Structure 1
Amino acid sequence: MFSIIIPLYNKFAYIEKAVKSVLAQTFANFELIIVNDGSTDESVNVVQQFTDLRIRIINQPNLGVSSARNKGVNKANYDYIAFLDADDWWDKNFLEEMNRLKEQVPEAGIYGCNYFHVKNKQNKVSKVGLTEGFKSGYINYFETYSKTFAVPFNCSFVVVKKQVLLEYDGFNHNLKFGEDFDLWVRIALNSKIAYINKPLAYSNQDVDSNNRALGSKLWKPENHFIFNLDYLQAEEKTNPILKKLLDGLRVRALIRYRLAGLYKKETNVTLQTVDFSLQPKYYQRIYQWPIVIIRLYFLYKKLGSQLKQKLIKFQK
């Protein structure tokens, strides 16, 4: 059986679809814990309309998504935890397939699956860096992630043993962005990771940018995972695959900080840990060019993207 945890904060427009996708599961042995993280919109009213006895609503003041997930874990009755963000949804076979996977490879600490990347109402299967022909089984999380830098899984298409979550103290409350990666990497260093190469969940990128963790916000260094990887320094020295992944994430995440000229000290300190000789030429140039050239380049890309979106809407 599964305990499903949905953290909820002001997702009135999306939560109904998320809950319905859970209740439609072909594998019906679960409880659904919705942790209302101090919502100020009508989100709670929406979930209260569901009468399914498997649903529990837990209220707390707005303490953040990590706190909400951790509270759900602590209140869970079952040994396997499935997470779902309130603006994403599942295929009806998600739990059935994940249950089959954990029976096939019971020693894993984390179970993940492929997913649809939803953008402009179009569903595209994510190009996760799996080996050709891979169907299911154990993966090297660091190697898989570093091949394409498409996340293998996040909190909407993953199942984790409750015992493992408790052992690693769950999600870091201080992190507002990348708190899931921070937890996955800690677990992956010591536990097996299992995966099924079927798109069984939908990662909704059409959510209003103001209502997403990514959005346009540049998080303070203490709140962004990329500035808080010092605890992995020793591992990076002996694990080249981990080093490749972390450096790749660093150069991708810090471009916007450099463009904005914010947190220069923290950004430079983090970039000094990167082995640029192993980075693609694109990122080597981005960090070598004068800042004015970089800004013009990204302005051009932004205008091109806006034009493309207008053309798509016109064609519809």
Structure 2
Amino acid sequence: MISVVIPLFNKAHTIKNTLRSVLDQTFQDFEVVIVDDGSTDDGVNVIRNFTNDERVRIIQQLNQGVSVARNKGVEQAIYNYIAFLDGDDKWLPTYLETLAKAINDYPDAAMYCCAGIVENSRDNSHVLRVAKKYQGVTREIDFFENPHVFLHTSATIVSKEKFNQTVGFPVGMKRNQDYALFFSLAFTGPVIYCGFPLSVYVGEVEGQATSTPLENMLKHVVNRHNIVYGNWKNSLLKNKTYIVFTKYELRHLIMFLLEKNKIDSVKYLIDKLDKGLINNFYGLEKYFYTHKNFKLFSIFLIKISKAKWRLNGYPFIGQN
């Protein structure tokens, strides 16, 4: 019923724990498609020595990046529901059982998101990642109330049919490729949220892609926003909350850049984003953001707009 897609690149030290968490699921109607993206470590042999389960398939390719690996996994999957899992993350035993019930209850959904736990591998600390507004329930949501609360790649299952209506994970993007896909998928059908923390994101892992300074990610951020906005324009039902959230998200980014005195980065952002998207901002607002004499005033305006956004009652992690 569910195809688990795991991209693998130099995760020999973590893949056994990841795979064990899949094989130990209470729900057993699944296959595992592992796409080795040209690893230079012993990860493939670790898998072969760990299990001979016939449901586990390994596909090997030259290194082409995580987007190509995930897309290949979806292409090779035999089931219509795709559960993504990274090679250093884990699931609690009832993750697939809970999501399978959500699929059964909401079979026409495009995407199923689940709450989770953030685990620090260095000190073994744990933090819940759950929208308390929806804690303990499974229900349809307006995804763009706050996608960053609902979404994590290793806590997401998608309909393969809906996935194939998109371009998949954009190839060539080093960051934000997951947002580009999942935000776009949210335009193709309902999104279901399971407010049970059953996925585990493991951070501070050796060899993990480290966080990149935000100003160095702008090319990918712009690319993601332009892809998603283009898909929103082409969607049959225009989700109005998407525009509200995107203005909030972009203002938050602009405020960060202004606080770092990155005026040139703000100008780059405004210049490269789709003009239709930028035109959702007021004309004077754009002028203030790109002139350093108005930096403090701009930050003040953005904080006011963020406070107004929060009055909508949209969910936050740790907030009722």
TM-score range, shorter chain: 0.7 to 0.9
Asked if 1:128 is matched to 2:131, the reply is yes
Give the counterpart letter for 1:2 in structure 2. I
CA-to-aligned-CA distance 1:53-83 (integer Å, 9 cap, x gap): 2111101111111110110111111111111
Give the counterpart letter for 1:78 in structure 2. Y
CA separation of 1:272 and 1:104: change in aligned 2, threshold 3 A: closer
CA-to-aligned-CA distance 1:224-263 (integer Å, 9 cap, x gap): 5246555157489x65421222123324445666646775
Q: State the match for 2:181 in structure 1.
A: 183
Give the counterpart letter for 2:269 in structure 1. T
Asked which structure has the greater RCO (Cα within 8 Å, sep 6+), the reply is: 2
Contact 2:35 2:59 in 1 (8 A): yes
1:130-279 residue pairs with structure 2 within 5 A?
A: 130-131=133-134, 135-145=137-147, 150-208=148-206, 211-212=208-209, 214-216=211-213, 218-219=216-217, 221-222=219-220, 225-226=224-225, 228-231=227-230, 234=233, 239-253=239-253, 259=260, 265-269=267-271, 270=273, 275=281
CA separation of 1:26 and 1:143: change in aligned 2, threshold 3 A: same
TM-score scaled by length of structure 2: 0.75
Distance 1:274 1:12 in 2: 46
Q: State the match for 2:77 in structure 1.
A: 76
SS at the partner of 1:115? strand
Give the counterpart letter for 1:25 in structure 2. Q
Q: State the match for 2:302 in structure 1.
A: none
Q: State the match for 1:34 in structure 2.
A: 34
Distance 1:15 1:46 in 2: 8
Q: State the match for 1:311 in structure 2.
A: none
Contact 1:226 1:250 in 2 (8 A): no
Contact 2:108 2:190 in 1 (8 A): yes
Q: What 5-or-longer segments of structure 2 have no aligned partner?
A: 300-320
Q: CA deviation at 1:137?
A: 1.6
Q: What 5-or-longer segments of structure 1 have no aligned partner?
A: 294-316
Contact 1:179 1:225 in 2 (8 A): yes
Q: CA deviation at 1:178?
A: 1.6
Q: Report % sequence identity.
A: 30
Q: CA deviation at 1:96?
A: 0.8
CA-to-aligned-CA distance 1:106-136 (integer Å, 9 cap, x gap): 12111111111223422221142635x6611
How large is the RMSD of aligned CA atoms in angstroms? 3.3
Distance 1:11 1:257 in 2: 34
Contact 2:37 2:60 in 1 (8 A): yes
SS at the partner of 1:56? strand
Give the counterpart letter for 1:211 in structure 2. Q
Contact 2:183 2:228 in 1 (8 A): no
Distance 1:10 1:125 in 2: 27
Q: CA deviation at 1:151?
A: 3.2
Distance 2:210 2:282 in 1: 28
Q: State the match for 1:300 in structure 2.
A: none
1:91-102 residue pairs with structure 2 within 5 A?
A: 91-102=92-103
Give the counterpart letter for 2:143 in structure 1. Y
SS at the partner of 2:133? coil
Q: State the match for 2:48 in structure 1.
A: 48
Distance 2:255 2:293 in 1: 8
Q: State the match for 2:315 in structure 1.
A: none
Moved more, 120-129 or 35-44: 120-129
Distance 1:5 1:201 in 2: 15
